[in-house]
Amino acid sequence: MSRTHHAAEFRRLHELRPLVLPNAWDPASARVIEAAGAAAIATTSAGVSWAHGRSDGEGLDRAGMIAAVRAILDTVAIPVTADVEGGYDDLAGTVAELAELGVAGVNVEDSAHGVLLDPAAAADRIRLARKADADLVLNARTDVYLLGGSGPEALAEAIARGNAAVAAGADCVFVPGVIAEDTIAALVEALHGPLNIMAMPGAPSVARLGELGVARVSVGSGIAQAALAATERAARELLTTGGYGALADGLPFGEVNSLFRAR
């Protein structure tokens, strides 16, 4: 399937209400997610960075992130949307290169080094990304809540930033850090584009998010964190009690190996 067809298919999938996007961080996690039945995959910048021994927040450089996304694209057949954080000091180049590789969409955030960008600068990021490729599904992330915002002021700011992003060319608005139903409903009502929610423990179920009008649901680094927790439990048990109980829930070797093609 061509990259243009992947983008068109990914755009069509947003009609599912909600489109569920498990987040992958390497080819193995992506292939397992695909085999579990996902219609599309999102990458997690945090998980990708951790897998390369770097911290989130562009701790992994542009070349490393693009290589990681390329490896995922080479492993799965379903659409992939890539988290490009702030664009690694070359947003247009990053978006254009990923589009050429075959991604169906990208996430672009409106903060840098833990601080929200000026709203005009945030909107300019979206314009730059859209100019770099007309076909990709562009998901504009606002970090109002992730950076500690709360109450009516945060809601108003998230709505204003989201609508400015849509006006600048975004297809969706991503508001991570929100799990309260009333806030989610208010965002759905006020935003001029589809809403992406980052689900986490305590959030409404996927079905309920769909009832509220959420267009897409992702989990950020949540699956990667769960995988790392399983790794820690198994290692701690082995090193302390010498037991292997934590290994009992692992996927069978043959099942995993069969997911990948021989070189």
**What number is the average pLDDT over the span 155-182?**
98
For the segment 238-255, the average pLDDT, to the nearest whole number, is: 97
pLDDT at 3: 61
- Looking at every residue in the chain, the average pLDDT score rounds to 96
Residue 140 confidence (pLDDT): 98
pLDDT at residue 262 in the model: 81
* Sheet strand arrangement including 41-43: 19-21, 216-218, 195-198, 172-174, 137-141, 105-109, 80-83, 41-43, 23-24
pLDDT-based confidence at residue 139 (cuts at 50, 70, 90) = very high
Contacts of 71 (CB under 8 A, 6+ apart): 26, 27
Tell me what the mean pLDDT of segment 4-26 comes to: 93
Average pLDDT for residues 23-32, to the nearest whole number? 98
> pTM score, two decimals?
0.95
- What local confidence, expressed as pLDDT, does residue 64 receive? 97
Instruction: Look at residue 5 in the predicted model and tell me its pLDDT.
Output: 73
**Residue 4: per-residue pLDDT:** 65
CB 108 within 8 A of CB 139: yes
Residue 263 pLDDT > 80, yes or no? no
**Per-residue confidence at 183, pLDDT binned at 50, 70, 90?**
very high
